[in-house]
Structure 1
Amino acid sequence: MIMVGFLALILLIPLAFVQNLIEERSERKNEVVKEVGEKWGSSIYFYGPILKIPYTDPNSKTYKYAYLFPEQLDNQTTVETKPLNRSIYDATVYTAEMNFKGSYIKPDFDLHNIPAGYVHWDKATILIQTTNLKSIKDQVDITFNGQKHTFEPIYNSNSGYEALETPYIDLSGSALFPAAFQFKIKYNGSELIKMVPIGKTTEMSMKSNWHSPSFTGNFLPNDKTKVITDNGFSAKWKVLHINRAFSQQYFKTLPDLSKYAFGVNFVVPVDEYQKNERVSKYGFLVIGLTFLTFFLIQAISKIRVHIFQYFMIGIALVMFYTLLIAITEHSSFRLAYVISGIAVVIMITLYSFSILKNRKFPALIGTSLSALYLFIYIIIQMENYALLVGSIGLFIILGLVMYLSRKIDWNSN
């Protein structure tokens, strides 16, 4: 018993190497997915549109800016996801088309003691802070009060974000407000879309063919409008100015409001490497229960099993995990699990025939090992009930072992 227990502990070493192999392959996949994502298009962060109006500070006589957020901001986004293949790895990317419309009201500079003559209405611009400029697919034009203006790329050194800004827009006429706008922007991207709700009332709707969205950020979609199916999802958000702690006008500097952003993360819930990692955590359990089965058979039948034979069986059990990760990379996890499980069960069962010299005990071992692998497969498919089902299953196994070993006379063995 001491030697078998010590051998089970020794087999934790190759089992740890297998887990390191799974981690290494997973990191390699993440590197490839990140590289593909960077070439196709990275995550999208959208902060805008912001009406930027220059003025001269009456005290310091310096040139500064006032930033005005929309009174109403509506966004409709359609996201089409697809897999991109590189070598043996798949990366999920998307194309997002974002349509915006809304309106501004005239800012009140008198509240900040800025005389009307100090405001340069003829040099106003519209600013958008964003990421992933390289993956914008079409020219971005905004229709502002019926006139079309084209955004130009700039780099905002203060925020560190890339940005789009229009040429000067003349807002000298008081009849220009309330000012309506609309525009659309099309991105190639990956992983994430986030937007800052800068409208006094911000409404956003999103539709996509992605089946497992993760809603992220400071605001969640309305439960009544959220629909998730195997073919995709749709969701709507409505954020009021009372829901977030920032105002509609800023003078001198534009604040970083990224902590108020919300959106969707296009994540793979559990990838093949995560499943392999979860299975490998049950490796010691499989080895221990298999050794226990052989030991009980040895105690009941008086057939001697050499420690070297235990070692061979243990190595075969460890090989299950290397087969599983290798086959998974070229097929599905389910098929890899079936092939690896059948291969190991057949190998150990046939080896048992040569050790135990009969058919009854090898058949018992093959059946027990098959049931154990099936039990583990069922557990890893569960998320909410994995711990509960696993604990109940182990309790039943312990009870079965206690029942089968109740009549063994340990003093005579």
Structure 2
Amino acid sequence: MNKQQNKFGNWLKTSLTARMLMIGVLIIVLLIPLSYIESLINERANRQESIVQEINEKWGNEILLYGPILKIPYKTYTEKIITSIDVKNNRTEKIEHLNYAYFFPTKLEMNATINPEEKKRGIYTTSVYKGEISMNGSYGKPDFSSIDIENEDILWDKTTIIIKTSNLKGINNQVIINFNNHKFSFLPKYEENNNNLSDEVSLNKLETNYLNKEVLPFTNDSYFTIKFNSSGSKQIRMIPIGKETNLTITSNWKTANFIGNFLPLNSDKISENGFNAIWKVLHINRPFSQEYFKILPNLKEYAFGVNFMIPVDEYQKSERSAKYGFLVISLTFLIFFLIQSISKIIIHPFQYLMIGLALTMFYTLLISISEHSNFLKAYLIAGVSVIILITLYSKSILKTFKFPLFIGASLSALYTFIFVIIQLENYALLVGSLGLFLILSIIMYASRKIDWD
């Protein structure tokens, strides 16, 4: 039995094939802790997302405004034939239906002053804001000619104005519309199907009581103004329902991210003190009408505005770096294998395993440090720590300074190469492919004179 063990041990020590098989097995084994590390990164990222969502919900979610919209009820009729045994007694019954027409403003001007601030919960940070929003504009005479409705079937005295918003909780004052010098308060109205959007954003309805018939735009345009204060988070967006929509957003936030179907017109929108963005959208620029009958459509996809989220991509970068873990371990083992083959120094499988575990420790250090610092500092600290550890450990194995210094320099170059790839977006694949080609060329050159027998 001892002879067989000694024979197997000598085979491991002397056979290049045995060493290569052993290294391959170790690399596969080390993929297990790497997969756990990737799961840890995803778990921490999900934890961050849930904490940020909790803060936003308590403060006030994003603001998405859809309105103001003139809502006018009207009657339509259908005929129903009531039959009897005697055909002569058949009669026709007229059935009345109540529908609603929705008219958008002829002109809509919106001005918002947004003052974001950072909110922290433990190690996680998000941006919230308080905003002052004013809306003013005008309505032209409602036109029912496209559906051929008689004037007596239009219930002018039951006309209301509605606003839909995603953030009722954040409104800090009573919302009042001044409509042709008459003031009307908005009240929340429950809608059974208020979550009619395709994503997580749902719109709640605010609606006035019935308007006085004399304020409606029968002969001249009717003008309105609305002002309200609101707390929110993430972003603020508007839907351009005016025949001409003008939006101005002013803020002291210096990292503005303009989102949606339309971008600001002014080129000097961003300054050292924040931004002042101006949009102008005409009805010809958007593919929807100025009036709708029976159903008010979901127009959320045409919203635009500003995102105030703090860009936190440490977890994304950590995940991308962990994807290169297999490459780092394989190349490091390959370097040790080449050194072992050239110098005839015996490296035990346990020593390979310790080196591999040290390489995986880089990623746990990277995640934990990046949660309390920026990614660059975390990468430097984790990289330098692991490189020093492996270099000193290889010194005790290889008994010389030449090879450990070479290993340290190789790991430094490898981690630098991976960091550059992580930072790049458009050229990551190109740079990565060229880098790997160069590494392969160097390894082929270094291994060209090895006696594989």
Fold match, TM over 0.5? yes
| 1:198 counterpart SS class | coil
Q: What's the CA shift string for 1:175-197, capped at 9, x where partnerless?
A: 66301112223322222333222
The CA deviation at 1:247 is 2.1
Which residue of 288, 292, 300 corresponds with 2:330?
288
Which residue of 25, 29, 47 corresponds with 2:48?
29
| 2:413 counterpart SS class | helix
- Say if 2:221 is the partner of 1:181: no
Q: Which runs of 5+ in 2 are unaligned?
A: 1-19, 79-94, 196-202
Q: Which residue number in structure 2 is paired with residue 340 of structure 1? A: 382
Q: State the AA in 2 paired with 1:313.
A: I
Q: What's the CA shift string for 1:26-82, capped at 9, x where partnerless?
A: 111111111111111112221100012233446644443322110111222333322
C-alpha distance in 2 between matches for 1:14 and 1:299:
28
C-alpha distance in 2 between matches for 1:97 and 1:335:
39
Q: Which residue number in structure 2 is paired with residue 264 of structure 1? A: 306
- Mapping of residues 20-99 of structure 1, within 5 Å: 20-57=39-76, 60-99=95-134
Q: Which residue number in structure 2 is paired with residue 364 of structure 1? A: 406
Which residue of 180, 187, 196 corresponds with 1:152?
187
C-alpha distance in 2 between matches for 1:13 and 1:228:
48
**Contact 1:212/1:269 (<8 A) preserved:** no
| 2:164 counterpart SS class | strand
RMSD of aligned Cα (Å): 2.4
TM-score computed with the length of structure 1 as normaliser = 0.91
C-alpha distance in 1 between matches for 2:145 and 2:391:
88
Which residue of 287, 292, 295 corresponds with 1:250?
292
Q: Which residue number in structure 1 is paired with residue 321 of structure 2? A: 279
- Mapping of residues 218-237 of structure 1, within 5 Å: 219-222=261-264, 225=267, 227-228=269-270, 232-237=274-279
- Mapping of residues 324-339 of structure 1, within 5 Å: 324-339=366-381
Deviates more, 1:136-145 or 1:353-362: 136-145
The CA deviation at 1:291 is 0.8
Q: Which residue number in structure 1 is paired with residue 21 of structure 2? A: 2
**Contact 1:143/1:149 (<8 A) preserved:** yes
| 1:247 counterpart SS class | coil
Which residue of 187, 194, 199 corresponds with 2:237?
194
**Contact 2:126/2:310 (<8 A) preserved:** no
Q: Which residue number in structure 2 is paired with residue 207 of structure 1? A: 250
The CA deviation at 1:388 is 1.8
- Say if 2:416 is the partner of 1:374: yes
Q: State the AA in 2 paired with 1:48.
A: G
Q: State the AA in 2 paired with 1:289.
A: L
| 2:169 counterpart SS class | helix
**Contact 1:226/1:236 (<8 A) preserved:** no
Q: Which residue number in structure 2 is paired with residue 164 of structure 1? A: 206
Structure index of larger Rg: 2
Q: Which residue number in structure 2 is paired with residue 113 of structure 1? A: 148
Which residue of 162, 184, 192 corresponds with 1:127?
162
* Aligned pairs, number: 410
Q: Which runs of 5+ in 1 are unaligned?
A: none
C-alpha distance in 1 between matches for 2:375 and 2:412:
17
| 1:50 counterpart SS class | strand
- Change beyond 3 A, Cα 1:385–1:268: farther
- Change beyond 3 A, Cα 1:296–1:30: same
The CA deviation at 1:409 is 2.8
- Say if 2:446 is the partner of 1:407: no
The CA deviation at 1:229 is 6.5
- Change beyond 3 A, Cα 1:170–1:92: same
**Contact 1:50/1:127 (<8 A) preserved:** yes
**Contact 1:122/1:172 (<8 A) preserved:** no
Q: Which residue number in structure 2 is paired with residue 140 of structure 1? A: 175
Which residue of 339, 350, 375 corresponds with 1:308?
350
C-alpha distance in 2 between matches for 1:226 and 1:388:
35
Q: State the AA in 2 paired with 1:401.
A: I
- Change beyond 3 A, Cα 1:222–1:332: closer
- Change beyond 3 A, Cα 1:184–1:7: same
| 2:174 counterpart SS class | coil
- Change beyond 3 A, Cα 1:377–1:209: farther
Q: State the AA in 1 paired with 2:53.
A: K
Q: State the AA in 2 paired with 1:293.
A: I
The CA deviation at 1:20 is 0.6
The CA deviation at 1:373 is 1.4
| 2:380 counterpart SS class | helix
The CA deviation at 1:230 is 7.6
- Say if 2:407 is the partner of 1:388: no
C-alpha distance in 2 between matches for 1:42 and 1:181:
27
- Change beyond 3 A, Cα 1:232–1:282: farther
Q: What's the CA shift string for 1:282-325, capped at 9, x where partnerless?
A: 11111111111111111121111111111100000001111111
Q: What's the CA shift string for 1:161-210, capped at 9, x where partnerless?
A: 31111222213366663011122233222223332221112222333444
Deviates more, 1:266-275 or 1:197-206: 266-275
**Contact 1:127/1:166 (<8 A) preserved:** yes
Q: State the AA in 2 paired with 1:322.
A: T
TM-score computed with the length of structure 2 as normaliser = 0.84
